[in-house]
Amino acid sequence: MSEEPRSPAIVVWAIIVLAIAAVVGLRMGFGDGMGRAYAERVEMRATVTSAASPGSERFVEWVEWRSVPPVEFTRAVRDNPAQERVQLSIAHTAGLWIAALLTLAIFSFLYRDNPAYRLAEAIVIGVSAAYWGVIGVWDSLVPKLCGALAHGWTAAHILPNLPSPTVQSQIGMSIALALGVLLLLRLVPAVGGVSVWAMAFIVGITAGAKIVSHVESDLLAQAVATMQPLVQPADGGLWTGATLWASLPNVLVVIGVLCCLTYFFFSVEHKGVIGGASRIGILYLMITFGAAFGFTVMGRVALLSQRVEFLLDDWLWLIDPLERRLLDGVSMIVGTGGVW
């Protein structure tokens, strides 16, 4: 995105940005406001039993703040103005604003690359990397590796209900640990070569597992699905429009499979009948690519519409399709006279 807009275009774009800023300013100053999140105080109690020490029970109490729609706050205040069960949540409100501003920062890349976009991009990468690291430790290393090789300590200190490992899983995890260490030895140049053993194991296992399943599901089952009768008799006889209509999909599938295979058959020159068939194969491929493109557009628009909905509904409070604030269209825009 290196092209620079011409000066009249810059003016138009500046007007658009100012219009967005004006909408935000108006929503903040007039009507029912915007971008507030509420939470409900829930007191939790639980009895904790440990598989490591059967018979021992202890009670645990804690407080959770559950996100609730603004209408819950309104109802709670109307019922009891002094209530403290539902409150404005500073943390949830900050999260809402951060999400909205990061969404706008990412969208700003459509205009051109800029520091706000780069900041948002860096945050996404950093948070993702950290999250995957945490997931790796708590969902793989601790329950699977530590749970198998140091079960007593893991159950006593981290996961009380972790089932006891079988001898089979302990042997399996010992091998996995050894292979993991071999992979990490890549960081030591003197013995780094041994890491290829672990890599060879991974490649071999993956290939072996995938070949069998792919042959079953993508070759044999698909070949069976292609072997359809070319004539599907319908009610009313063989030579009716209904029979023709019912048979058409099967005929098209068989023609498509044969012609696409012909297109990818390079041992014979694509001339004459073979050339015609391969051209029909190209047509089928083009239709497939078009369908894939159409579905991709639909998917991307769905994601875009979700973000726009978030900005207009959760942040700006311009619409209320889920009836979380119970306001009609006019009230959402101009306000209800300070109900909040």
Partner 1 sequence: MEGAAEVSGVLGILERLDRRWVFLAMALAVAGPILVMGLTRKTLPETPTDASRAVFRAVQSLPQGSTVLLAFDFDPGSAGELEPMGVNMARHCALRGHKMVFISLWPLGGQMIDQTIEKVIRADFPQLQDGVDFVNLGFQAGNEQVMRVVLTDFKRAFPTTKSGRATADLPILQGVQRIGDFALLASVSAGYPGSKEWVQYVVSASGGKLPMVSGCTGVQTPQLYPYFPGQISGLLGAIKGAAEYESLINAWVMDPANAAEWSGRGAASGAPMVLPPKYLEAQRRMGPQLGAHLLMVVLILLGNLVYFAQRRAQRRVAA
Three-state secondary structure readout of 184-204:
HHHHCHHHHHHHHHHHHHHHH
Q: Which is nearer to partner 1, 181 or 297 (CB)?
A: 297
Supply the DSSP string of 269-306, one letter for each residue: -S-HHHHHHHHHHHHHHHHHHHHHHHHHHHHHHHHHHH
Least distance to partner 1, CB of residue 81, Å: 27
Of 150, 200, 190, 155, nearest to 173 by C-alpha is 150
Helix (H) or strand (E) segment spanning residue 40 = strand 38-49
Which region, left, alpha or beta, applies to residue 35 given φ > 0 means left and ψ of -120 to 50 means alpha? left
With binding defined as CB under 8 A, does residue 57 bind partner 1?
A: no
Select the span of 114-122, 139-147, 177-185, 231-239 touching partner 1 (CB under 8 A).
139-147
CA 153/CA 122 separation, integer angstroms: 38
Select the span of 28-36, 71-79, 266-274, 320-328 touching partner 1 (CB under 8 A).
320-328
62 neighbors 42 (Cβ within 8 angstroms): no
For 242, half-sphere exposure in the C-beta direction (CA atoms, 13 angstrom radius) is: 6
Q: Which is nearer to partner 1, 185 or 318 (CB)?
A: 318
With binding defined as CB under 8 A, does residue 319 bind partner 1?
A: yes
With binding defined as CB under 8 A, does residue 214 bind partner 1?
A: yes
Residue type, 25: G
With binding defined as CB under 8 A, does residue 23 bind partner 1?
A: no
Instruction: Pick one of 119, 231, 297, 334: the residue that binds partner 1 (CB under 8 A).
Output: 297
With binding defined as CB under 8 A, does residue 296 bind partner 1?
A: yes
Least distance to partner 1, CB of residue 50, Å: 11
With binding defined as CB under 8 A, does residue 245 bind partner 1?
A: no
With binding defined as CB under 8 A, does residue 19 bind partner 1?
A: no
Interface positions with partner 1 (CB under 8 A)? 3, 5-6, 9, 13, 16, 51, 110-111, 131-132, 135-136, 139-140, 143-144, 159-163, 209, 213-214, 216-218, 221-222, 224-225, 288, 291-292, 295-309, 312-313, 318-323, 329, 332
